[in-house]
Structure formats: structure tokens, C-alpha cells
Structure 1
Amino acid sequence: MKVTVDTRLCIGSGTCAMTAPAVFDQDEEQALVVVLDEAPPESERAAVALAVERCPAAVILMHS
């Protein structure tokens, strides 16, 4: 699995970081999404899928 985000469209809600903290964080200045692991282990699949679903700006993509 690979995770990508379009940070230009991120609104900084923090949902991704709360849903999948091993994969996402937020930067200190603008609270925009930071991908901690672009190729997370399979054990993170459910959390990443939930983060994709819950992202209010729909900027997270999960590629198999």
C-alpha cells in the first residue's frame, strides 16, 4: 500500500492524524497533514482507509 496526499488542498482538520497516528501527523505551523510513512505496513490498512473516508477535504489517497 502507498499513501499520497495533496497538501495544497488540506484544510488542517487533523482527522487523519487522530485516525491513523502512525501514518499521519500535522505540521506545527499550519496544521497541514504530514505523511509519516508513505508505505505503511498492512497492519495500518484499516486505519488509513478510515482516514481516507473521514478526510473532509478528500486529499488522502490510498493505492494498493
Structure 2
Amino acid sequence: MASGFMKDEFKVKLEELKEKKATGEFKLAHLENNEIEDVITEEDIKYLLSNFSGYVVSRNMPECKNSYRTL
């Protein structure tokens, strides 16, 4: 009797995994087919890096603050 329950449970889990696999494959195919329209420019990188130092100093991580201030 317990083996019948385990088989049913296994079948349910197997179906869930098959659905996840199908969803993952669909998302992967969608990502592979999309063309990259946005281009990261040098200005974008400069903007992100200019905000980075404030982020590191504002965090409560002394090791990051100390290493950043010594640079």
C-alpha cells in the first residue's frame, strides 16, 4: 500500500519537473532568440562607478570601507 502512494507521489513530482523543464527550455529559447537592443555606453559605466563608492562607504562593512579608503 505504501509503495502505491510513493508511486503516485513520484508521478506528481515527475510531472512538476517536466513542467519546470519545459518552462526553462521555453525561456532559454526566448532569450537566445532576442536580439540585444540596449547597448551599455561608457557614460553608463562611469555613472555606475561614480555611485559605487558611496554605496560601499554607506554599508556597514568595515573591511570594505577600510580597503576602499586606502585606494
Q: Which category describes the TM-score, using the shorter chain as reference length? A: under 0.3
Give the TM-score normalised by structure 1.
Answer: 0.25
Query: Per chain length, whose mean CA-contact separation is higher, i.e. which structure has more relative contact order (CA < 8 Å, sep 6+)?
Result: 1
Q: Of the two, which has the highest radius of gyration?
A: 2
TM-score for both structures, normalised by structure 2: 0.23
More strand by share: 1
Between structures 1 and 2, the one with greater helix share = 2
